[in-house]
Amino acid sequence: MRSSLVPIFLLLCISSCADDGRGRNDKTKESPQPEYHRTSVSVPLSNYFGVCAFEWDFMNPADALNLDTVRLNAVKSFTGIRHYLDWEKLEHTEGHFTFNPAQSGSWNYDTMYKWCQKQGITVVACIKTVPDWMQTAAPSDQRGNENVPMRYGKDKSDPNSYIEQARMGFQYAARYGHNKQVDRGLVKVDTAVVPWPNGPHNRVKIGMGLISYIECDNERDKWWQGARAQQSGAEYAANLSAFYDGNKNTMGPGVGVKNADPSMQVVMAGLAAPKPEFVKAMINWCRMHRGLKTDGSVDLPWDVINYHYYCNDADYVADKKQTSGQAPELTNAAATARKFMELSHLYAKDMPVWVTETGYDINQHTPQHAMIIEKRRAMETQADWSLRTSLLYAREGIQKVFFYELFDDNPSSDNNFSSAGLINADRSRRPAADYMYQVNKLFGGYTFATSVSSDPVVDKYIKDSVSMYVLYIPDEKGRMAGYTLALGNTDNAYLYSPKAGSKQMDVVQKRTENGKLQLTITETPIFVTTRDMSIN
């Protein structure tokens, strides 16, 4: 989660991502760079409509053990949940793990995850922050729940410094992963602790099969918080090596996610500064300290590359002041995606690349706000730009996207990201959520095929040999343009337009002229197909 308290000028002070954590650059010898050829991967459009959320976005505020119907209806708008989960919720007391109910907050994670699985919603557990019991050893002025996840005074470059976090990862994966053969003697669920008198006890459960992805912390390149909270690429790779498999099984039993569930995918923490160099430094550390696999590739202790990208007029450029959000096509979002995809192809065997934070505020006083464009409200611009963000990343080959966030932190605040929610105070959908829900409902199974035009954007998607085209103007001025879409040998076409405040897209049937369709394109995407989607 991006801190809303980060001053804008600090975005200009990003330290070198190649630093090895000891004040010098990582000079690890690299292998020769092979030639890059983009690999095509078929990813359903549904992958691009995830959202970041907390457990309290699911549970009854008067009873944390039970789900809340109104809140669940809001969550159903999305295909994926990036669950911000504080480490302390799982391990309130060192070595004592609780899940249902959690000793801290009395949350019921079992029920929450079961509901998501039943709804077909993918959960990525982003386990973050440092528990109080780990902070207490540090001097009072060096404490903070977003510190590097190790005991005070430890070496950030040593995987063994992260053994406590790696043990927690094992316990989480043992319970919610898919391996039912975990040694029960290694499972440390505290069955004695109850959050309140006569309350329910936790029970040991193994291999519940509810979680397939676990993210190791969040934004470990926290340059704005100083050395106590920031890791270099090399240091974070050491952290991951412990979290992934106990530094190649050298840290004893019950340590590392893969030692509980080899199938669970470990996602690297999303980078606050979207710099491929940080990941390159991680890979270089692994080449030196973990070596190569039998196929000659570097033994990497993560399964997904992950970064954050907020589109705005500063666009991560030094000495440029951020004043407003910006349409995604007018930023370096696409170019940055290509750099990460290239890095993945050249050095990580086409490892999936995700963007797990992006989005826009609606409060017009924040530097990340979606503009009011002509007669369109900020919420409608937020909807246009959010949907176009998903489509941009589908075009570039990114495999999952999560928006920040489900619900506002504080809509009246002028701080960045405080009004970026996709759900209203009454738990109804904002237009952005309407658009995502509607597009996924009709076209979530379609995959990107090719780009026909860049301005206007005309992209072709395919499902079961049926084509769908998405068309829009990549601008932020209320611009319109005419376009002739060639649909081949067909007499009819169906135009689907996202509609705010509705569960359904507007649809218009049109006749073609010799297979060609005359269209007026705006900055709101429209979807065109020769199939009547209402009969599916």
230 and 167 fall within a common domain: yes
pLDDT at 157 over 80: yes
Amino acid in position 425 = A
pLDDT at 153 over 50: yes
Output the six-digit token pair for 530. Answer: 């020769």
pLDDT at 6 over 80: no
430 and 480 fall within a common domain: no
How many structural domains is the chain composed of? 2
333 and 189 fall within a common domain: yes
The pLDDT assigned to 527 comes to: 98
**Distance from C-alpha of 231 to C-alpha of 221, rounded to nearest angstrom:** 6
Output the six-digit token pair for 25. Answer: 């650059």
240-255: per-residue pLDDT in tens?
999 999 999 999 999 9
Q: What percent of the chain has pLDDT over 70?
A: 92
398 and 424 fall within a common domain: yes
**Distance from C-alpha of 312 to C-alpha of 366, rounded to nearest angstrom:** 11
Domain that holds residue 296: 9-34+46-439
411 and 529 fall within a common domain: no
Question: Domain with 468 in it: what CATH number?
Answer: 2.60.40.1180
The pLDDT assigned to 64 comes to: 86
The pLDDT assigned to 28 comes to: 40
Q: Across the strands, what pairs with 493?
A: 510
363-388: per-residue pLDDT in tens?
999 999 999 999 899 999 999 999 99
pLDDT at 25 over 70: no
399 and 523 fall within a common domain: no
**Distance from C-alpha of 176 to C-alpha of 102, rounded to nearest angstrom:** 14
464 and 432 fall within a common domain: no
Q: Which of 392, 282, 263, 272 is nearest to 348 (CA)?
A: 282
Question: Domain with 263 in it: what CATH number?
Answer: 3.20.20.80
Residue 201: how many CB atoms within 10 A of its CB?
13
Q: What is the pTM of this model?
A: 0.93
Q: Where are the beta strands (DSSP E) in 133-280?
A: 213-216, 265-268
Output the six-digit token pair for 528. Answer: 């065109």
H or E stretch at 447: strand 447-454
**Distance from C-alpha of 356 to C-alpha of 235, rounded to nearest angstrom:** 21
138 and 277 fall within a common domain: yes
Residue 4 in domain: no
56-87: per-residue pLDDT in tens?
999 998 888 899 999 999 999 999 999 999 99
229 and 345 fall within a common domain: yes
Residue 286 in domain: yes
Contact predicate 63/103, CB 8 Å? no
Boundary residue ending a domain (415, 439, 463)? 439
**Distance from C-alpha of 128 to C-alpha of 272, rounded to nearest angstrom:** 14
500-520: per-residue pLDDT in tens?
999 999 999 999 999 999 999
Q: What is the mean pLDDT of the chain?
A: 92
